[in-house]
Structure 1
Amino acid sequence: MGEVAAADPAVVGAISDCKTEENIPHRIACRALEVSEAWFYTWRRRPAEPTKREVRRTALAERIRYFFDRSGKTYGSPRITLDP
């Protein structure tokens, strides 16, 4: 089954609506939308604020972008890794 890479509230809402309005089990709705039940339940329990990992990854991505731009967009991952 395919997973939804970016957390999409519309998918979670559609699955929840199927259960609420049409009495369609989550399992069938997940299968129809090609997402795993585990993904659905994990996403549904997600906190509203970003996790520590998401915050850390965002900060790292900004730092990498800074060094890449500062190098005139010539540095690759080996040189960015070595940059202090």
Structure 2
Amino acid sequence: MQGPLGEVTENAPEAVVAFTSSQRVEHGVPHRVSCRVAGVSEAWFHTWRRRPDEPTKREARRARPEERIIHFFTGSGGTYGSPRTT
């Protein structure tokens, strides 16, 4: 997702949610308008606004293998490819 705010939507979605929420509270700008300016959909905004602070079960489950793959890849000096790490 690449909007007028650049890579902010990918790297710090919390910043986009905070920006959109603050525009509504401080200036009375509807979420629809702020989302359009930020280059995100309203559905994306509402999903991230309700997102829990802790990772979801799925995110935690997916992070475990990623950590192990990184461990083995760096342990091999960066020479192991996908067939050897799996």
Normalised-by-shorter TM-score class: 0.7 to 0.9
Can you give the 5+ residue segments of structure 1 that lack an aligned partner in the other structure? none
Cα distance in 2, alignment partners of residues 2 and 39 from structure 1: 13
State the identity %: 57
Q: TM-score, normalised by structure 1?
A: 0.83
Match of 1:69 among 53, 65, 74: 74
Q: Which amino acid aligns with 1:40?
A: F
Q: Which amino acid aligns with 1:2?
A: Q
Verify the 8 A CA contact 2:24 2:31 in the aligned structure 1.
Answer: yes
Structure with larger Rg: 1
Identify which of 4, 11, 16 aligns with 1:6.
Answer: 11
Q: 1:52 aligns with which of 51, 57, 77?
A: 57
Counterpart position of 1:20: 25
Q: How many pairs align?
A: 81
CA distance in 2, matches of 1:24, 1:9: 18
The runs of 5 or more residues in structure 2 that have no matched partner are 4-8
TM-score (norm 2): 0.82
Stretch deviating more after TM superposition (30-39 or 6-15) = 6-15
Query: After the TM superposition, which segments of 4 or more aligned residues of structure 1 sit over 3 Å from their partners?
Result: none
CA-based RMSD = 1.7
